[in-house]
Amino acid sequence: MVSTSLPSLSTNIAQIRLGIRALQPQLVEWRRILHQHPELGFKEHLTAQLITQKLTQWGISHQTGVAQTGIVATVTGSQMGNQPGRTLAIRADMDALPIQEENQVPYCSQHDGKMHACGHDGHTAIALGTAYYLSQHPESFTGTVKFIFQPAEEGPGGAKPMIEAGVLKNPQVDAIIGLHLWNNLPLGTVGVREGALMAAVELFHCTIQGKGGHGAMPHQTVDSIVVGAQVVTALQTIMSRNVNPLQAGVVTVGEFHAGRAHNVIADTAEMSGTVRYFDPGLDGFFKARVEQIIAGVCQSQGASYSLDYWSLYPPVLNDRAIAQLVRSVAETVVETPAGVVPDCQTMGGEDMSFFLQEVPGCYFFLGSANPDRGLAFPHHHPRFDFDETALGMGVEIFVRCVEKYCMG
Ligand SMILES: [Zn+2]
Ligand SMILES: [Zn+2]
């Protein structure tokens, strides 16, 4: 039974909002410090240091060096009777990209050739703000919140090693949530849906071995460019002819290298590409089909090939109940005309998917673009930046998800 001494829901919302608004300057400060010190996957040493320093200062128990540079922090709410309550994990990635920043702002990257061009500096600041707020307001929830500060999302992937290191155990995580600041959506919106939010990511690299020779005497050769060009074209038939047209997917050949002179037939051609899809039932399908096509074309032309194929991240699949929880919270936090975008999906990938394979959860997009302030460059662009107003919104959504989930 709920104690009558608890504040009413509407008072509660107003209190949370006021408390978080007061945090906004610190959120911006932390984000800008992180932005100035971008670090690549598994090299997030300064980042981890800053997180550790804050957690220690606030008296939040935490473990460092999880999967190299990862950190796990635990905040416990006031307990109701003997019930320990549920455990909700909040995941934030903290790595940057090998990009030279072209923004001219006071908080520009100070590390040459590296940049927080995906907003993970913001994710870390939001998670820190949420941890701070909850540690200051343990009475506002029951149960436990586990903060997972994850390295290397941009590659080679830090989620899997963190799971292997046991971050979802002791205490056992019941559900997990996470967000991505999203410049494909305007500030004041949240993109959330149940089921597939982001795609599986696969990568292949193929070398076609032909037989070189004189450009004027093709009958003495096996032209690897002609074979390779047929392979590129034939690969397009996977999506157009083999996959159910009601299912989405992408096969992109993004690199093709062959030849050095106009009058020489190239003996090798190299290509690499990416495959994306939402349906986990297609796991293994593209890998088999890509190889069949390459083998078939090569065989018909007298060429040989070698193929490397990697399944990097599975699709990001949201649990229905947790997605509904996030949506209902988001509706009260982003009270804008655009509001909650219900069927937001992208063929981008994310290793949050590994956590979602282990426990039910929800990953969502927090709109962060503000074209009026020049803050609308896409992710991974050298001029990427986002509207920092979104930081407070992120904390508010997380805090209210914790309250709602850990009460339930
Ligand atoms: Zn990214
Ligand atoms: Zn990202």
Give distance in angstroms: CA of 244 to centre of ligand 2: 29
pLDDT grade, residue 194 (50/70/90)?
A: very high
Q: What separation in Å is there between the alpha carbon of 216 and the centre of ligand 1?
A: 47
> Quick one: pLDDT band at residue 2, thresholds 50, 70, 90?
very low
> What pLDDT does residue 5 have?
41
Instruction: Pick 85 or 180 by higher pLDDT.
Output: 180
Lookup: tokens for 191: 């993109």
Find the range with the poorest average confidence among 17-26, 78-87, 136-145, 278-287: 78-87
Structure confidence by residue, pLDDT tens digits, 354-377: 999 999 999 999 999 999 999 999
Q: Which pLDDT value is given to residue 9?
A: 47
| Confidence band, pLDDT 50/70/90 cuts, at residue 343 | confident
Express each pLDDT in 100-119 by its tens digit. 999 999 999 999 999 999 99
- Angle between the N-to-C axes of helices 389-407 and 120-136, in degrees from 0 to 180, rounded to the nearest 10: 50
Helix axes 224-237, 285-301, angle to 10 degrees: 140
Ligand at shortest distance from the CA of 351 = 2
Dihedral pair phi/psi, residue 64, rounded to 5°:
-105, 170
Active site residue 95: yes
Q: What is the model's pLDDT at position 334?
A: 87
In this predicted structure, the answer to whether residue 303 has a pLDDT above a threshold of 80 is yes
pLDDT tens digits for 214-264?
999 999 999 999 999 999 999 999 999 999 999 999 999 999 999 999 999
Q: Does the pLDDT at position 307 exceed 60? A: yes
Contact 125, 30 (CB under 8 A): yes
Neighbouring residues of the ion ligand 2, judged by CB less than 5 Å: 118
CA distance 51 to 53: 5
Q: What is the mean pLDDT of residues 277-282?
A: 97
Provide the β-strand partners of residue 176: 89, 361
- Compute the distance from residue 152 Cα to the ligand 2 centre, in Å: 10
Proximal ligand: closest to the CA of 181 = 2
Q: What is the pLDDT of residue 11?
A: 61
> Which residue in 93, 95, 385, 388 is the catalytic one?
95
CB 395 within 8 A of CB 20: yes
Confidence of residue 301 (pLDDT cuts 50, 70, 90): very high
pTM of the model: 0.93
Residue among 39, 101, 121, 153 flagged as catalytic: 153
Q: Does residue 353 contact residue 313 with C-beta atoms inside 8 Å?
A: yes
Question: 330 is written with which tokens?
Answer: 């988001």
- What is the whole-number distance in angstroms between the Cα of residue 100 and the centre of ligand 2? 17
Average pLDDT of the chain, as a whole number: 94
Is residue 126 scored above 70 in pLDDT?
Answer: yes
CA-CA distance, 77 to 74, in Å (whole number)? 10
Residue 91, pLDDT above cutoff 50: yes
Ligand nearest to the CA of 121: 2
**What whole-number distance in Å separates Cα of residue 252 and Cα of residue 340?**
31
Q: pLDDT over 70 for what percent of the chain?
A: 96
Please tell me the predicted confidence (pLDDT) of residue 132: 97
How far does the centroid of ligand 2 lie from the alpha carbon of residue 96, in Å?
9
Ligand 2: distance of its center to the CA of 386 in Å? 13
Note the pLDDT of residue 337: 80
pLDDT at residue 361, rounded to an integer: 98
Q: Give tens-digit pLDDT for 376-405.
A: 999 999 999 999 999 999 999 999 999 999
User: Residue 198 above 50 pLDDT?
Assistant: yes
Q: What's the 320 CA to ligand 2 centre distance in angstroms?
A: 23
More confident residue, 406 or 263: 263
What is the number of the ligand closest to the CA of 115?
Answer: 1
Is 121 designated active site? no
